[in-house]
Structure 1
Amino acid sequence: MVTVHRSIRHEPRPADAPPIGRLDWLLVGVFAAAALIESIVAPGSAWRPLVAVLALTLILALLWRRKHPLMATLVGWGVAGLLSILQLTAHTGDLGLYSMMAVLLLLYSLVRWGSGREMVLGTAFVTVVVALGMCVSSTGWADVFGGSVLLLLFVALAAVFRYRADLWRRQQREIRNQERVALARELHDTVAHHVSAIAVQAQAGRVVARIQPEKAAEVLAAIESEASRTLVEMRSMVRVLRAEDAATYSPQLGVADLPALARAHATPTVEVSLDNSSTRLTRHVDAALYRLAQESLTNAVRHARSATRVGIDVRRDGDTVRLRVSDDGRTEPGPVPEPGFGLLGMAERAQLLGGWLSAGPGPEGGWVVEAVLPVEALA
């Protein structure tokens, strides 16, 4: 128990807290309007103006609930505790407004967006305020049980969403790591290819220098050109994480191998269209295009409904090369589903090379995946 408590206290805040948006202002406006209307319509009381001001203060704390969850919780639940003390000292009836149920959102935000230390301090403060309120109002056991279940429900809901978000971020990091491993292996193949070519040319140069000294300059120029290309491709992958475990390296497939990939699929029919310039690509861009087309084709075969044709088109446009994979499958009406981990991995691969990838329903039906990569990837 001590170990678990310490781990919770040292848990950092989630990194994906969204900023204040229109929905936040709308939420505050709705609660504020409800509080004002309730304070006017409710039976008269000498404390009603003060209660209305405190309610508005509590509601305004909703704007801080993600950026400063502990402060918002202390302000909101502090108002609730102050009303309980006021009710106890003034010997008056219940002073709260139904709109003050907004404190439940503050408790949710504390668990969802707060750090471990903030959660411990905030929940302890909320527990004290809740206990004070129950004592002041002489709540029966049934109400105590119902109120406790409601609070625990909000805490559990926030914990579930926090865990799901954390799991999603971990899976995305794993996808990025896997793509970097694949790119690192491709980097190994690229460097091995160029260095082997340099070594062969250097060996030939030694022979040529003895027999035809005037040809040695041509060999040196070829070695210089090959070394320059190697440096360019190495710099373009400098951010890739290299794997330390042993792996079996083999020649990488590229755009020229897409027709063979198409022939491997009998159904649906796969049509490949290439232009001549697409065969003159750097090795890692060439391999990336093949991998993206392969993954897109696999997704189309598995998920496209009633698809009879899949088109793979690779075109070079200036300093970029564009890949388009489309099918004629039937798409269901409604919102576009969230991208799966396969699409996220494909997008990560394109971004690592300085390009981009998009996927979604096509204008004429079916599903379309488009990727654009620079011919010379980012250095």
Structure 2
Amino acid sequence: MLSFTRSVPGTSRALRDDALFAAGLAVLSALLAAFVADGRRPDLLAWALLLGAHVPLVWRRVRPMPVLLAVLGCVAPYHAVDYTHIAAVPVGMVALYTVAVSGRPRRALITGLLLVGVMLTVNVSVSPHQVAEVMRITGWVVAVLLLGVYVRIHRQYVASVLERAERAERTREEEARRRVAEERLRVARDLHDLLAHSITLVGVQTSVAAHVLAADPERLDRAAVAKALDDIADTCRSARGELRATLAVLRASGAGPEPDETRDPLPGLDGLPDLAEAARTSGAEVDLAVREAEAPPAVGAAAYRIVQEALTNAVRHGGPGLTIRVGIRVADAALRVTVTDDGRAADDPSHTPGFGLVGMRERARSVGGTLEAGPRACGGFEVSAVLPLVPVGLGGLR
């Protein structure tokens, strides 16, 4: 290649590199002029023209066409006086190559045609016997122009390949960041579902035990206290087991076997009776109606988490004497989940919205479903979800 540097044209580094290149080329031309017998021996004028032709090469990548014209302005009279011809060939070819490599192929074609046409015209009118030599020089001109065009096309191809690779790398990085964000959201949602449910039950059951202890210290109902404490212990054990399973999945997702091979099955519709029983230990009356509903694991897990969060919210905010009805049925190729209560959550001024409703809606969307939640006209609260039996996506489910 005749382009020895890939520094950015126009910068101080590019000018410095081209100046060094021009100086080295000038030394080569001077050696050729001094030791090769190919025409008249160079005199002061020859040295001035030959070395002066190398000066414009400092700006060859910034202004390739003006540089070519300046070089030809020195090289043409040098050849016309019949000085050592081969000494002026390198500088002319470098200037011609720069024009070809830095512009479109059409510019290289027009430049070559004009240059060859001028040479032929001048030589035919001045020295007809040198037409064969002109044809030989024309071959070199065409070769240099073709080399420049090829290098330009090759550089464009390499740049396009590198650009595609960079775009692919950016896409992979964005995908990795998206998956990390989804994983963080999934972990936050799982921990919220688990801890909010368990802590709420423990809080309610602790209140029951405290009430029993404080109601009539002289006639302490030891059985009721023992049952309340047993319920608390059962809730803690269940929460600990599910938390351990969640952490095992998180550790397995970084390396080793696939998570599906190392974790417990997804909680599904078969786990709803345990949720209902846990809510009953808090003093609520829970009516669970599952009408021969079957669903894929992902859909069942989404329904499980939605019911879990709905029960947690009802127990936490519903107040005493709470009745909760949970309905699960299949209709129109979708699993329909309904959780209603007659509590006072909608009228509770101390209630501040949290992440529960957001998490339930995300659970429904993760399988392509929808969820609506809000106060009922007759009092209480209602959560209603429609989950397609063919889930659209599985992101966010543990």
- Asked whether the two chains share a fold, i.e. TM above 0.5, the reply is no
Give the number of the structure whose alpha-carbon radius of gyration is greater.
2
Whose RCO is larger (CA < 8 A, sep 6+)?
Answer: 1
TM range, smaller chain: 0.3 to 0.5
TM-score by length of 1: 0.43
TM-score by length of 2: 0.41
